[in-house]
Structure 1
Amino acid sequence: MELAASILYSFGVLSFLLCIYFFLGYRSQKREWKQKVKQWFPEEERKSFISKWGDRFDENESSEKLRNKLHNANLKLLPSEFLGILIVGFLMLFVLFYSMFGMPFGLSVALPLLLLVVSNYLLFYFRKNSYELRFNDQLSDVCRILGNAARSGLTINQGIDIVAREVSAPAGKEFKRISNELKLGVNLETAFRAVQQRNKSRDFNLFIATLLIQKKTGGNLALTLDTMANTFEDRKVLNQIIKTMTSEQKYISFIVPALPIFLLLVMNNVIDGFITPLWSGFGLVILVIFLAAIILSFFLIRKITNIKV
């Protein structure tokens, strides 16, 4: 009986030691795999509490609308980074107005807020189609590559795969997504319609319609793509000429509203109380007319120089 108890006790101790040995070996192997994964897929860890707040805000559903606006404006910023820039800009403008221009505290707070709201609106207004414009500028190269692929005897799917590898962002990124969807079994029309929901430009709609019609009816796809590439290139050259000819007027549209405001602030810094009469009854009327004239002149100049092809 004592012999059996001794054997069981020895077996239990041996099992316990083996468990500890295998457990330590497992932890060592796990640590090695973690190091290998960090080497293969390095990640930048943001350790400050501000960065953690930013990550939490970026993962929130409330930032999705701002993320889409930044994407359409072709601004490679996270929503938290964009808000951080706005906060820093407000603090800089507050110090500028309150310390350098000697404006009252309330006005030094209200005016930067107004300027940031207006700047935010104008930024997304003028860049609302920036992503589409960059995408359209690359359509001629996409047509050339697809035309050469068709001329070499490759299919449309193989040509799209080449475009995904050769063309840079943003077109390369979109065609890479299309290529991955095609490899997963999605048909060509469905993949193109998904991209069309994100990019509703006229040129891309023409490109999609041409490819789908050629696939259904047949014909010389290479010649059609070359013709379309020439059309896109001619349009790109014409848009660049128009942009060059109207660049001076576009800069004037920013200088004309900013110059009177800057001079008003400088005079207020030189002459103490220079803008005080603007807060009286008649002064408020003049101030409203002044601001309305500045805004009207800005939009009129931008409207005249906005020539669409």
Structure 2
Amino acid sequence: MNYLQVIIVAAGLSGVALLLWALFSGPSPRKEATRRLKSVRYRHASSATDRLEAQMRRAVAARKPRIHQIAGSASRAEALAVRLDRSGLKWTIPQYVYGSLGLGAFVTLLVFLQTGALLLALAFGIFVGAGLPHFVVNTFIKRRNNAFTAKFADAIDLLVRGLRSGLPVSETLALVSQEVPGPVGEEFKLVTDRMKVGKTMEDALQATADRLAMPEFNFFVITLAIQRETGGNLAETLANLSDVLRKRAQMKLKIRAMSSESKASAYIVGSLPFIVFAMIYWINPEYIGEFFIDERLMVAGVGGAIWMGIGAFIMAKMVSFEI
């Protein structure tokens, strides 16, 4: 192994160590102290306006969370634990980390044995080991959120019927946890369990809203908080919210249908270079094999992949609409 390979291996190990440090390191102590002081001030404020302002702040933070702070988490490790919990998977943080490292090492070894190019093998290993588990977790989170949204309006209708029949809010929440299947019933069961151990309904609902980070559930929590402070007909308010959520879901479906052609074009344009590369390698391996030997071609290939990734990101943003 020459000096260049030693330097590449050292750089790869340093990158893995840096990723692990970024994963488990927390935020700045000064910023964390300021955030906690603000949270305590809003939590114990006697003014109804301050309480509603705090809930609106949490709703906005959950709608657009920061990169390393998700759904009220205080560190990157806690944010990862929240993401794994939101996905519905039974994975733990050590399982996720060890799986990512093992997958990255396996891909690195496989590509190195096939091509003999250490730099290319490390690039593929880091990309697959860090990207594939993250993509899988995001896919499961999106699938669970879609299942939650599909049943959430029905759950609110069940709440409305329970309230109109004379049941208190706590009993209607327990009824929803028993009657509505899927993620909605699971989340409402967690809310009722928190209330049984002594938490107030507002705190239990807000904890679930912070963890789910879904605008629909934030609307529900804010509606209950406003009704509790100002009074009024809760059943009618929730019925209006259910109608709004259904119209929101219909608008999302319309946007998905209108942007489907653009998304298909983006998928084709993004995947075509890789398909052509694989076909040429299959037909004439000697012609394309220089990419695995010549370091200049490897650098050019990595640069082209980076520019393609930037283009794919821009196209994804162009066809992504937020309601």
- TM class by shorter chain equals 0.5 to 0.7
CA distance in 1, matches of 2:195, 2:135: 39
In the TM superposition, residue 246 of structure 1 has moved relative to its aligned partner by 2.8
Partner amino acid for 2:116? P
CA distance in 2, matches of 1:218, 1:277: 70
- Residue equivalent to 1:44: none
CA RMSD after TM alignment: 3.6
Q: Is the 8 A contact 2:115 2:292 kept in 1?
A: no
Q: Pick from 266, 271, 278 the counterpart of residue 258 of structure 1.
A: 271
Q: Is the 8 A contact 1:74 1:127 kept in 2?
A: yes
CA distance in 2, matches of 1:191, 1:86: 33
Tell me whether 1:187 sits opposite 2:187 in the alignment.
no
CA distance in 2, matches of 1:103, 1:280: 11
Q: Is the 8 A contact 2:157 2:239 kept in 1?
A: yes
- Residue equivalent to 1:295: 309
Q: Which has the larger radius of gyration?
A: 1
CA distance in 2, matches of 1:200, 1:236: 17
Q: Pick from 130, 139, 154 the counterpart of residue 117 of structure 1.
A: 130
Distance 1:63 1:191, change over 3 A: closer
2:288 is paired with a residue whose SS is coil
Q: Percent identity?
A: 24
- Residue equivalent to 2:318: 304
TM-score, normalised via structure 2 length: 0.62
- Residue equivalent to 1:170: 183
Tell me whether 1:104 sits opposite 2:116 in the alignment.
yes
Partner amino acid for 1:308? E
- The structure showing larger relative contact order (alpha-carbon pairs under 8 Å, at least 6 residues apart) is 2
Q: Is the 8 A contact 2:116 2:292 kept in 1?
A: no
Partner amino acid for 1:261? F
Aligned residue runs from structure 1 range 69-218, under 5 A: 69-79=83-93, 82=96, 86=100, 103-104=115-116, 106=118, 107-108=120-121, 110-123=123-136, 131-218=144-231
1:154 is paired with a residue whose SS is coil
Distance 1:119 1:241, change over 3 A: same
CA distance in 1, matches of 2:321, 2:184: 25
Unmatched 5+ residue regions in structure 2? Answer: 1-75
Q: Is the 8 A contact 2:281 2:287 kept in 1?
A: yes
CA distance in 2, matches of 1:252, 1:151: 50
Question: Number of residue pairs matched?
Answer: 247
Please give the per-residue CA displacement for 1:82-138, whole angstroms capped at 9, x wherever unaligned: 567657865885697578xx5335345642442333334445566666555543433
In the TM superposition, residue 241 of structure 1 has moved relative to its aligned partner by 2.4
1:186 is paired with a residue whose SS is coil
- Residue equivalent to 1:4: none
Please give the per-residue CA displacement for 1:52-78, whole angstroms capped at 9, x wherever unaligned: xxxxxxxxxx97654332223444545
- Residue equivalent to 1:35: none
CA distance in 2, matches of 1:151, 1:96: 63
- Residue equivalent to 2:297: 283
Distance 1:187 1:69, change over 3 A: closer
- Residue equivalent to 1:7: none
In the TM superposition, residue 254 of structure 1 has moved relative to its aligned partner by 4.1
CA distance in 1, matches of 2:124, 2:321: 33
Unmatched 5+ residue regions in structure 1? Answer: 1-61
2:181 is paired with a residue whose SS is coil
- Residue equivalent to 1:245: 258
CA distance in 1, matches of 2:271, 2:105: 20
In the TM superposition, residue 177 of structure 1 has moved relative to its aligned partner by 2.0
CA distance in 2, matches of 1:120, 1:184: 35
- Residue equivalent to 1:18: none
Distance 1:97 1:186, change over 3 A: closer
Q: Is the 8 A contact 2:102 2:129 kept in 1?
A: no
Q: Pick from 257, 263, 288 the counterpart of residue 274 of structure 1.
A: 288
CA distance in 2, matches of 1:85, 1:179: 34
Which piece of structure 1 moves more, 214-223 or 169-178? 214-223
Distance 1:93 1:249, change over 3 A: farther
